[in-house]
Amino acid sequence: MRILAIETSCDDTGAAVVLNGRKILSNIVSSQVSVHQRYGGVVPELASRRHIESIVPIVTEALERAKVTLRDIDGIAVTQGPGLVGSLLVGLSFAKSLSFVTGLPFVGINHIEAHLSAIFLEERSPKFPFIGLVVSGGHTSLFRVDGFGKFKRLGQTRDDAAGEAYDKVAKLLGLGYPGGPIIDELSRTGNPEAIRFPRPSLGKNSFDFSFSGLKTAVVNYVKAHPEPATGYPEDLIRDIVSSFQEAVVEVLVRKTLQAAQHEKLKRVVLSGGVAANSRLRQKMEEEAAEQRLKVFIPSPSLCSDNAAMVAVAGYEYLKQGIRSPLSLNAFSNLPL
C-alpha cells in the first residue's frame, strides 16, 4: 500500500510517499527558517502563506521522486493537529481536495502520534509496549504506547516546551533562530557544570515538565552579569548554553527513565525535533544502558517535522479501514 502523506503543522511543508508504512520512497521537506529568522520565531500568518505557495510543488516533487503518479497511490494521510491552525488548514484542505477528486481514502493524523511513529521507518524499531517521549518546540510529553492508537499520557509540560525554551534562551543571547541546533553546537565546547541552573521536578511522583523557571534562571543570570561594551566573551556564552542544555537534558532523561520503571517497561522511544540533540541522545542511551533499557531514536532527519512519519500512522489506520470524512477540521489543540 502506497501512502501519500502531507505535513503542514507549523513552518515546514512536507510531503512523502511511503510503502506499507515502512519504506520511504520519497520524503520532501521545504523549510521556512529563512522566512522566520529575522523575527526570532515562527510568524503564523507568514507560515500559512508560504505553505500555500509551497504545497503543490512539494507534493509534485514527492510523487516524482517516488516515481509514481496519483494513480499508484492507495491512500492519503495528513496532519490534522495539533499545530498552527492556519498552517494545518492548508495541508488538510489540500488533502481533502485530492481525496474528493481522486476518490482516494484519506485519514487525519495526530502530529504527536506521527512523531512517535517515526521510529518504525528505521531498520531497528521497537515492539509494543514502550515509553515514548515527544520533545519538540511545541510539545514535551511522556506516553505509555501499547499500539497504534493506544496511548496513555503519563506527563506533559505545564508551560514552555523544551524546544521553546531553547529558542527563547538563544534569542536572549542573540544567537539566532532556531535555537536548538545553535545551542547544541555551542554546547559541545562549553562547560556543562559552569553554572548550576535549576532542575525542575514538580514532585517526586510527577512525570510533568516545566521549563519556564529554568528559562527565567538563565534570564536572571544574564541580568546579574551585564554584557560588557565589547560583548560577552565566547567562552562565557558557551558555558551558559552548555549549562542550560545540561539542565534540560537531565530532567528529560530522568523523568523518562522513571516512567519506564513505573510502567515496568524495558523499551524507550525518543522522538520530536529536540530528539536530534546530540547531548540528549548520548545521555539517554548511557543512562538507559545502566538500567538495562533499550532506547530507540529515529535518525535526526526523521526527528524534525516530516511527512514520512505521518504516512506510518496513516498506513496503519487505512489498513484497518479507518477513514476520515471530508468534513474533518483542523485543531490547534488536539489531544492524543
Residue range 232-277, pLDDT digits in tens: 889 999 999 999 999 999 999 999 999 999 999 999 999 999 999 9
Residue 192 confidence (pLDDT):
97
Q: What are phi and psi of 21, to 5 degrees?
A: 65, 10
Residue 232 confidence (pLDDT):
82
Strand spans (E) along 237-302: 267-271, 294-296
- The residue with cell 521510529 is 119
Give the three cell numbers for residue 170.
538563544
**pLDDT confidence of 137, banded at 50, 70, 90?**
confident
Segment 18-45 shows an average pLDDT of: 94
State pLDDT tens for residues 266-281.
999 999 999 999 999 9
Q: Can you tell me the distance from the alpha carbon of 88 to that of 311, in angstroms, rounded to the nearest whole number?
A: 16
pLDDT over 90 percentage in the chain: 92
**pLDDT confidence of 226, banded at 50, 70, 90?**
confident
State pLDDT tens for residues 146-176.
999 999 999 999 998 999 999 999 999 999 9
Q: Can you tell me the distance from the alpha carbon of 60 to that of 66, in angstroms, rounded to the nearest whole number?
A: 10
Segment 23-51 shows an average pLDDT of: 94
- The residue with cell 531514536 is 297
* 10 within 8 A of 83, measured Cβ to Cβ: yes
Domains of the chain and CATH, by start = 2-117+303-319 (3.30.420.40), 124-297 (3.30.420.40)
Helix then strand then coil, % of the chain, to nearest 5: 45, 20, 35
**pLDDT confidence of 200, banded at 50, 70, 90?**
confident
Residue 229 predicted with pLDDT over 90 = no
Amino acid 39 reads: Y
Other CB atoms within 10 A of residue 224 CB: 7
Residue 138 confidence (pLDDT):
85
- The residue with cell 566573551 is 233
Helix axes 162-172 and 234-263, enclosed angle (nearest 10): 170
Q: What are phi and psi of 129, to 5 degrees?
A: -90, 165
Closest CA to 184 of 168, 199, 170, 198: 170
Average pLDDT, the chain: 95
State pLDDT tens for residues 60-119.
999 999 999 999 999 999 999 999 999 999 999 999 999 999 999 999 999 999 999 999
Other CB atoms within 10 A of residue 35 CB: 15
* 147 within 8 A of 169, measured Cβ to Cβ: no
Torsion from C-alpha of 30, 31, 35, 36, nearest 10 degrees: 150
Closest CA to 54 of 28, 18, 79: 28
